[in-house]
Amino acid sequence: MLMMTTAKNVAVPEKMLKMVSIPELGMVDLSNTLDKVFLTLPNYCLGQSISKFYQNYEFIQFCTSSFESVLICKVFNITYQTNYFAWENPGVGKYLTAMAAQGLSFLLLLFLIETNLLWRMRTIVCDLRRRRKWVMLLNQVPVLPEDRDVADERKKVLESPVASISSLNSPLVIKELTKVYSSRDSCLAVDRISLAVSKGECFGLLGFNGAGKTTTFKMLTGDESITSGDAYVDGHSILANIKKVQQRIGYCPQFDALLDHMTGRETLSMYARLRGIPERYIGSCVENMLRGLLLEPYANKLIRTYSGGNKRKLSAGISLIGGPPVVFLDEPSTGMDPVARRLLWDAVARTRECGKSIIITSHSMEECEALCTRLAIMVNGQFKCLGSPQHL
C-alpha cells in the first residue's frame, strides 16, 4: 500500500510536466517553471532522477551506435550528457542536489521538533514582544508616594550591587520584581517590589486575597515567569540560573502538591534524597521531622487518607527538610489545629535560628507576631508599609 501511494505521488507531477512540455501546446516555458517548482518535492526528484538516468543511458546508446543514428539525433534535436550527473537536461545533478538539500532541511526540522527548540524560540519571541508591551504599560502607571521604610528598602536594594548584598548577609534579594498577566485588559499583579532578606530573618507578607502574595512566591520559585525585574538567591539570578536557585530553596505552596499513593515517610525520604542528605542520616532526619510535626501516627499511611491539616504539615515538612538556605511558606498553617500550629511555629523558629532565611505569607497577625522579625503589608501588588511587628 505504501509503495503504491509513493508511486502515485511520483507519477502525478511527472505526468503533468510531460503534458505541458509538448511543443505543439506552446507551454514549454510553463514546463520549465514547473520543473523548478517541483524540485521542492522529494518524490518528484526521486522519480525524475531514475527516469532521466535511464533516458540519458538510452540516448547515449542510440546516438553513438552509428553514423545514421547521429544524424537522426541531430534532426530530432535529441540531446544527451556523457556525464550522468550533469546539471543540464537530461543529467540528474540538480535532482540529486535538491534531494540532498531536502534531506538536510528535514533532518534539521526533525532535530528542532524533537528538542523542542521551535517552541522555545516561539516562546522567546512572544515573551520579548509581551515584555516590550508590558514595559510601556508600566511606564504609564504612576509611582505613588511610598511609606518611608518601603522607600528606604528600595533605595538600599537598587543602589547596592547584588553581589555585595548577597555576600554580606542577604541570601534573598528582590529587585523591582513585576508581574503582569496578559489578557484583554492586562492585570498588574505585582508592582515593582524590592526587598533584601537577611540570614536568620523571617520575613512576613500580610495582605488580603488577591494582593499578590502567592504570585510573588510563584515568581521566586520559578512557577511563574517574571515580567520585569529579577531576584537573586545566594547570588544566583532567577532569570539566568533557575535550576541553581531551585536547588537552594524550600517551598510550601498554598495548595498541597503531594503524591496520593505515597506515604508520608516515603515522601519525606524522597525529598531528603533530592536534597542530597547522606543515606545514613535520612532515617533519623525523617523521624525528627515526623515527630516535630506530630505526623508519627500517620507516617506509614497513604497521603490520600490524610486530613487537610496533616497534608499542610507534610508540605511544610517537605520545605524544611534538608535545611535549604531560603524557605518559602505560603500560608503553611491553614487548616491546622492549635497544637499542630504551635509545633509548626517551633519548627520554623528553629530553622530561622539556624541562620536560614524564611519568607512566609499569612492572614494571621498572631502567626506573624510569633514568627516574623519583619513584615510587609501588601496591597494591589505593592508594599504599603514595612518593618518589625512592633514598629508596624
C-alpha 263/C-alpha 303 separation (Å) is: 5
CATH superfamily of 144-387: P-loop containing nucleotide triphosphate hydrolases (3.40.50.300)
Cα 338–chain centre separation? 40
Q: Which of 229, 237, 246 is nearest to 189 (CA)?
A: 229
pLDDT at 91: 84
C-alpha cell at position 204: 512576613
Nearest CA to 197 out of 177, 183, 226, 225 is that of: 177
Q: What phi, psi does 34 have (nearest 5°)?
A: -65, -35
Cβ atoms 327, 334 nearer than 8 A: no
Question: What H or E segment, with its residue span, contains residue 276?
Answer: none
Extract the C-alpha cell encoding 17.
Answer: 510536466
Q: What is the pLDDT of residue 141?
A: 56
pLDDT in tens, 60-107: 888 888 887 878 888 777 888 888 888 888 888 888 999 999 999 999
| Cα–Cα dist 11/316, whole Å | 68
Residues 6+ apart with CB under 8 A from 39: 45, 94, 95, 98
**Residues 143 and 191: beta-carbon distance below 8 Å:** no
Q: Is the alpha carbon torsion for 44, 49, 50, 52 positive or negative?
A: positive
Rounded Cα distance between 176 and 158, Å, is 8
353 phi/psi in degrees, rounded to 5: -65, -20
Quick one: DSSP state of residue 350? H
Beta-sheet pairing, 382-387 with 326-330: unpaired
Angle at CA 222, nearest 5°, toward 215 and 211?
Answer: 5
SS3 178: strand
* CATH 3.40.50.300 domain locations along the chain: 144-387
How far is Cα 385 from Cα 375, in angstroms, rounded to an integer? Answer: 8
What SS3 state is found at 138? helix
The pLDDT value given to residue 211: 83
User: In whole angstroms, what is the distance from residue 216 CA to residue 250 CA?
Assistant: 15
| Cα 194 versus chain centre, distance | 24
Q: Which residue from 358, 283, 290, 370 is spatially nearest to 323, judged by alpha carbons? A: 358
Sign of the Cα torsion 136, 141, 143, 149 reads negative
Listed as ranges, residues in the chain with pLDDT below 50 are: 1-3
